[in-house]
């Protein structure tokens, strides 16, 4: 998994809409500036973690099997094992995996855009999620 132009455009577009909404609100200049700076910080954080994959906790490798197990490798080398949960989103351009760590805890999501991996692996992942063994 690598850099995704699709996720980059989606994140920037969403944040631009949010920034436009903030500018249209009848607040003072200081309040608007504060909210715009906060939105910018969130944009940079999500770009590093999701689209650019340069954050230390960014997922750089995902492996799934037909029994619902998933292995994730983070940029910092950490390996996470878990189980796929029902409700993953599957589309030709984007897959959002819903999974839970092996020891339990909260259910997490991972976005995998079609342009972040090679076409064959993305197709195999979509087929596996739509038609589990």
Q: Could you give phi then psi for residue 40, rounded to 5 degrees?
A: -65, -40
Domain ranges of the chain: 5-51, 59-130
pLDDT at 66 over 90: no
Specify the pTM: 0.75
What is the CB neighbour count within 10 angstroms for residue 93? 9
Highest averaged pLDDT of the listed ranges 25-29, 47-51, 119-123? 25-29
Beta strand pairing status for 89-90 and 107-113? unpaired
CA atoms within 13 A on the CB side of 84: 23
- Whole-angstrom CA distances from 36 to 7, 33, 67, 83, 93 are 21, 5, 45, 38, 30
Q: Which residues touch 131 (CB under 8 Å, ≥6 apart)?
A: none
Per-residue pLDDT band at 133 (split at 50, 70, 90):
low
- CATH architecture of the domain with range 59-130: Roll (2.30)
């Amino acid at each position: 998994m690598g850099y995704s132009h699709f996720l980059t455009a989606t994140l920037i577009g969403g944040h631009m809409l949010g920034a436009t909404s903030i500018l249209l609100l009848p607040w003072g200049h200081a309040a608007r500036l504060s909210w715009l700076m906060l939105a910018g910080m969130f944009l940079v954080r999500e770009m590093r973690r999701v689209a650019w994959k340069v954050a230390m906790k960014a997922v750089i490798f995902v492996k799934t099997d037909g029994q619902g197990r998933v292995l994730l490798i983070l940029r910092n080398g950490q390996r996470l094992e878990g189980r796929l949960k029902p409700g993953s989103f599957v589309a030709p351009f984007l897959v959002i995996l819903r999974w839970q760590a092996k020891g339990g805890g909260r259910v997490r999501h991972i976005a995998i855009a079609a342009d972040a991996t090679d076409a064959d692996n993305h197709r195999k992942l979509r087929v596996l999620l739509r038609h589990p063994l």
